[in-house]
Chain A
Amino acid sequence: GAGVSQSPSNKVTEKGKDVELRCDPISGHTALYWYRQSLGQGLEFLIYFQGNSAPDKSGLPSDRFSAERTGGSVSTLTIQRTQQEDSAVYLCATQDRGLGETQYFGPGTRLLVL
Chain B
Amino acid sequence: ILNVEQSPQSLHVQEGDSTNFTCSFPSSNFYALHWYRWETAKSPEALFVMTLNGDEKKKGRISATLNTKEGYSYLYIKGSQPEDSATYLCALYTGGFKTIFGAGTRLFVKA
Binding site for B on A (CB under 8 A): 3-4, 31, 35, 40-43, 45, 48, 50, 56, 91, 93, 99-108
Given A43-B89, A45-B98, A48-B97; A100-B44 close (CB under 8 Å): no
- A sample of 23 inter-chain contacts (CB < 8 A) reads A4-B43, A35-B101, A40-B9, A40-B103, A41-B103, A42-B4, A42-B100, A42-B102, A43-B89, A43-B91, A45-B98, A45-B100, A91-B43, A91-B44, A101-B49, A104-B43, A104-B46, A105-B44, A105-B45, A106-B43, A107-B42, A107-B43, A108-B43
Binding site for A on B (CB under 8 A): 4, 9, 31-32, 34, 36, 41-46, 49, 89, 91, 93, 95-104
Which residues of chain B are near A35, meaning CB under 8 Å?
101
Overall SS of chain A's interface: loop
Which residues of chain B are near A108, meaning CB under 8 Å?
43
- Among B31, B43, B89, the one with the most A-chain Cβ atoms within 10 Å of its Cβ is B43
Besides the known contacts A91-B44, A102-B49, A107-B41, 5 further A-B residue pairs in the complex with CB atoms under 8 A apart: A41-B103, A42-B103, A100-B31, A103-B91, A105-B43
Closest to B3 in A: A42
Q: How far is the CB of B9 from chain A (nearest CB, A)?
A: 8
